[in-house]
């Protein structure tokens, strides 16, 4: 089956007669004069979308005399007369920037014009117009100027050449199989469409853990195929990046060291860069996981992350390439008996002292939280702490710790909270979103990256509704001011059409899902109660005596991690005031993060008025009820959604409700046994 394959680009035929008339009035022809690849893509998308929705053929012309009801697309200076007529000289003054666009309905000339500085903007403008039509907006009086808030809007594939996807829950890779790059890349092209239509413009196509074969991606063995992939993404204005192995010079057998200060190593990478740019002239650059979870890096040679990344940056600089260097660096061989080492502190401790030492074409990619994509974490204190170093955000769409592709967990609300967090870096109102869009410190490069959630499942994401996370990520990277609910509604209308019962049900399912997931899993910000390795399902002590720095310290009296300055690991002190005091003080710490920052007795009373233990019991019972309610709400949509999607999502909601019980009972039972305190409502705990 191919249901779900077209995701939010289905463009079902319009059925309302008035609506068809209203759109048809502007769809007499398409006026396009430019020949660039990306404009050709834009024209093809416009044609396809309109033809689907209207059931007509859309002729492409280079001019239109009839003077009524056409759509013109092009760059302001590209010689398209209709664009010039509608925008006049003002085109250039519209401030659309390198990737923005303007859409204007010009009643006089009978033209809807989509104009931009660059072809990429034209493509985004076309997708925008199609989105307006598909979601039922009027196009009679458009006067829109849009430009993306973030310059880098990137996807990270964690795909391996053997066809597996690290933390992938929707099948195998669409890029690779059997240690080769697939010969048929149709699916990659369709993925490029999905990404571009949600506003994304960059992709790293291989796992940050670069294994043996992938190390050769930057050699002649793979470069022709990599160039083929780059060519596909280029047509959608998406730049290609590669994850590289820091020890490449050694791994390929060419050198005996990867020391960044070694002259041969520098020369090796320079030659590599030259070779790469010969094949892919617009290559984006390298994504690097170094000295992290057993990956090689500069530490081996007594060098730091600035030395390490600058060496690569120097090699890429003449070609305009970037080094995206990840900050996910911590001691992954910790002794659980050691109460001083705190993984949460690690990124800040490593990178803060290096601020200002990185070259201009290096960007530090920082995970949203200090640990690892848990359902609830505080915001990484590195945001706002590096005024002299380019930084970007790393989110994870894949839901590794948030139910994978089985449970629904719409993450846009979580990401919004992160982006709206006040760092106080330049006084009150210094939000994370202004750090990562580059405006707060005038970064040269910055933006968003996120780990993808797609695989070769027919519907890309496994769970039909988690397509919303991919779409939502793109839309949020374009404009962090969009609300989570607005994005959810947009996605739902594009995906399922405009049956209002469907729209309101799906939107409320999405909007409630994060908090429901949180309520039946690890409580109050403590995290990590998942099964080791695969990270699906409950195991309260699964990571308690491990080397990964992931503990909750539950005993017979209480639980939580003391990260205060006064008596704990001092992590709370990495924030600027007033955050440091708010988190560091028991009385002011927000309930949802209490156990991240404090070790408290089970009888500690939360701001909500409940004790910690009663909160655990209550939220876990409620969470299951809500998960069951999700299943019931979904089931009410029977007959309103295609049967296959209905069944597929229905099965997942059923699994989620069942699995939520397992979470509830494991956690409640564990804490009843530890604390000896019974549930005030005397519900069944085992």
Residues 606-645 as x/- pattern, contact with ligand GCU by CB under 6 A: ----------------------------------------
Q: Does residue 351 touch ligand GCU according to CB under 6 A? A: no
Is 636 a known active-site residue?
A: no
Question: With the C-alpha atoms ordered 524, 528, 529, 535, is the resulting torsion angle positive or negative?
Answer: positive
Is 625 a known active-site residue?
A: no
Is 314 a known active-site residue?
A: no
Beta bridge partners of 60: 30
| Catalytic one of 251, 372, 562, 679 | 372
Cα(589)–Cα(582) distance, integer angstroms: 5
Question: How many amino acids of this chain bind ligand GCU (CB under 6 A)?
Answer: 9
At 4, list the tokens. Answer: 């779900």
Question: CB neighbours (10 Å) of residue 604?
Answer: 19
CB 484 within 8 A of CB 410: yes
Helices and strands of the chain, counted as H and E runs: 20, 18
Closer to ligand GCU by CB, 211 or 610: give it: 211
Residues 273-302 as x/- pattern, contact with ligand GCU by CB under 6 A: ----------------x---x---------
3 state DSSP class of 434: helix
Cα(229)–Cα(189) distance, integer angstroms: 9
Which member of 117, 372, 562, 679 binds ligand GCU (CB under 6 A)?
A: 372
What is the pairing mode between strands 176-177 and 180-181? antiparallel
- Burial degree of 88 (CB within 10 A; 0-12, 13-18, 19+): exposed
* Least distance in angstroms from the C-beta of 295 to ligand GCU: 8
* Least distance in angstroms from the C-beta of 209 to ligand GCU: 5
Closer to ligand GCU by CB, 121 or 378: give it: 378
3 state DSSP class of 106: strand
* Least distance in angstroms from the C-beta of 400 to ligand GCU: 6
Closest among 511, 526, 510 to 374, alpha carbons compared: 526
* Least distance in angstroms from the C-beta of 167 to ligand GCU: 5
| Alpha helix (H) residue ranges in 2-87 | 17-24, 37-54, 81-87
* Least distance in angstroms from the C-beta of 528 to ligand GCU: 11
Tokens 């509608």 appear where?
86
Q: Does residue 330 touch ligand GCU according to CB under 6 A? A: no
* Least distance in angstroms from the C-beta of 368 to ligand GCU: 12
Cα(410)–Cα(399) distance, integer angstroms: 9
Q: Does residue 660 touch ligand GCU according to CB under 6 A? A: no
Q: Does residue 208 touch ligand GCU according to CB under 6 A? A: yes
At 505, list the tokens. Answer: 């049900």
DSSP 8-state code for residue 540:
T
Which member of 81, 106, 162, 166 binds ligand GCU (CB under 6 A)?
A: 166
Closer to ligand GCU by CB, 52 or 167: give it: 167
3 state DSSP class of 613: helix
In the region spanning residues 441 to 500, those forming contacts with ligand GCU, defined by CB under 6 A, are: none
Which member of 47, 128, 167, 664 binds ligand GCU (CB under 6 A)?
A: 167
Residues 299-328 as x/- pattern, contact with ligand GCU by CB under 6 A: -----------------------------x
Which member of 172, 209, 546, 669 binds ligand GCU (CB under 6 A)?
A: 209
Sequence-distant (6+) residues with CB within 8 A of 588 are 581, 582
| Catalytic one of 34, 400, 562, 618 | 400
* Least distance in angstroms from the C-beta of 123 to ligand GCU: 31
**Residues interacting with ligand GCU, by CB under 6 A?**
166-167, 208-209, 289, 293, 328, 372, 400
List active site positions.
Answer: 293, 372, 400
């Amino acid at each position: 089956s191919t249901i779900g394959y077209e995701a939010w680009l289905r463009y079902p035929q319009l059925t309302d007669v008035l609506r068809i008339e209203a759109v048809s009035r502007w769809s007499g022809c398409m006026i396009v004069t430019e020949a660039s690849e990306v404009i050709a893509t834009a024209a093809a998308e416009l044609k396809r979308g309109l033809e689907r929705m209207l059931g007509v053929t859309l002729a492409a012309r280079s001019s239109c005399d009839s003077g009524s009801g056409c759509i013109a697309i092009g760059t302001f200076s590209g010689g398209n007369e209709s664009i010039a007529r509608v925008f006049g000289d003002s085109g250039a003054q519209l401030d659309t920037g390198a990737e923005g666009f303007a859409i204007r309905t010009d009643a006089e000339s009978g033209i809807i014009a989509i104009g931009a500085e660059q072809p990429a903007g034209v493509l985004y403008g076309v997708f925008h117009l199609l989105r307006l039509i598909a979601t039922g907006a009027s196009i009679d009086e458009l006067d829109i100027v849009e430009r993306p808030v973030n310059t880098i809007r990137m996807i990270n594939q964690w795909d391996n050449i053997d066809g597996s996807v690290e933390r992938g829950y929707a099948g195998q890779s669409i890029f690779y199989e059997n240690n080769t790059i697939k010969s048929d890349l149709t699916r990659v092209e369709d993925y490029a469409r999905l990404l571009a239509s949600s506003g994304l413009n960059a992709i790293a196509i291989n796992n940050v853990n670069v294994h043996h074969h992938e190390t050769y991606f930057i050699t002649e063995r793979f470069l022709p195929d990599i160039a083929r992939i780059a060519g596909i993404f280029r047509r959608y204005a998406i730049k290609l990046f590669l994850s590289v192995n820091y020890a490449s010079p050694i791994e390929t057998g060419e050198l005996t060291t990867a020391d960044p200060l070694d002259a041969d190593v520098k020369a090796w990478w320079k030659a590599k860069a030259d070779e790469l740019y010969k094949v892919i002239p617009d290559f984006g650059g390298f994504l690097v996981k170094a000295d992290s979870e057993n990956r090689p890096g500069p530490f081996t040679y007594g060098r730091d992350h600035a030395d390490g990344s600058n060496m690569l940056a120097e090699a890429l600089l003449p070609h305009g390439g970037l080094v995206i260097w990840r900050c996910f660096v911590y001691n992954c061989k910790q002794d659980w008996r050691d109460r001083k080492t705190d993984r949460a502190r690690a990124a800040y401790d490593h990178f803060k002292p290096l601020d200002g030492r990185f070259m201009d074409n290096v960007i530090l990619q920082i995970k949203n939280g200090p640990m690892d994509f848990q359902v609830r974490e505080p915001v990484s204190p590195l945001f706002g702490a590096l005024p002299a170093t380019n930084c970007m955000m790393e989110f994870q769409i894949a839901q590794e710790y948030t139910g994978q592709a089985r449970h629904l967990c719409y993450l846009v609300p979580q990401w919004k909270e992160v982006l709206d967090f006040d760092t106080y870096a330049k006084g009150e109102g210094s939000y994370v979103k202004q750090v990562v869009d580059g405006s707060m410190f005038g970064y040269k490069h910055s933006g968003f990256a996120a780990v993808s959630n797609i695989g070769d499942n027919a519907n890309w994401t496994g769970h039909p509704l988690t397509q919303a996370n991919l779409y939502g990520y793109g839309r949020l990277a374009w404009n962090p001011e969009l609300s989570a609910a607005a994005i959810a509604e947009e996605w739902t209308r594009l995906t399922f059409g405009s049956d209002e019962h469907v729209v309101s049900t799906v939107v409320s399912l999405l909007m409630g899902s994060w908090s429901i997931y949180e309520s039946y899993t690890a409580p109050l910000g403590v995290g990590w109660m998942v099964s080791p390795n695969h990270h699906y399902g409950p195991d309260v002590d699964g990571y308690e005596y491990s080397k990964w720095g992931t503990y909750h310290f539950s005993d017979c009296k209480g639980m939580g991690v003391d990260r205060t300055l006064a008596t704990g690991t001092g992590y709370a002190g990495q924030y600027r005031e007033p955050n440091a005091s708010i988190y560091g003080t028991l009385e002011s710490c927000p309930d949802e993060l209490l156990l991240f920052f404090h070790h408290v007795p089970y009888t500690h009373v939360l701001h909500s008025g409940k004790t910690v233990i009663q909160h655990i019991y209550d939220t876990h019972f409620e969470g299951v009820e809500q998960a069951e309610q999700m299943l019931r709400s979904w089931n009410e949509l029977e007959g309103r959604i295609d049967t296959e999607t209905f069944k597929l999502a229905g099965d997942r909601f059923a699994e989620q409700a069942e699995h939520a019980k397992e979470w509830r009972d494991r956690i409640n039972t564990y804490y009843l046994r530890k604390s000896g305190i019974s549930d005030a409502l005397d519900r069944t705990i085992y």
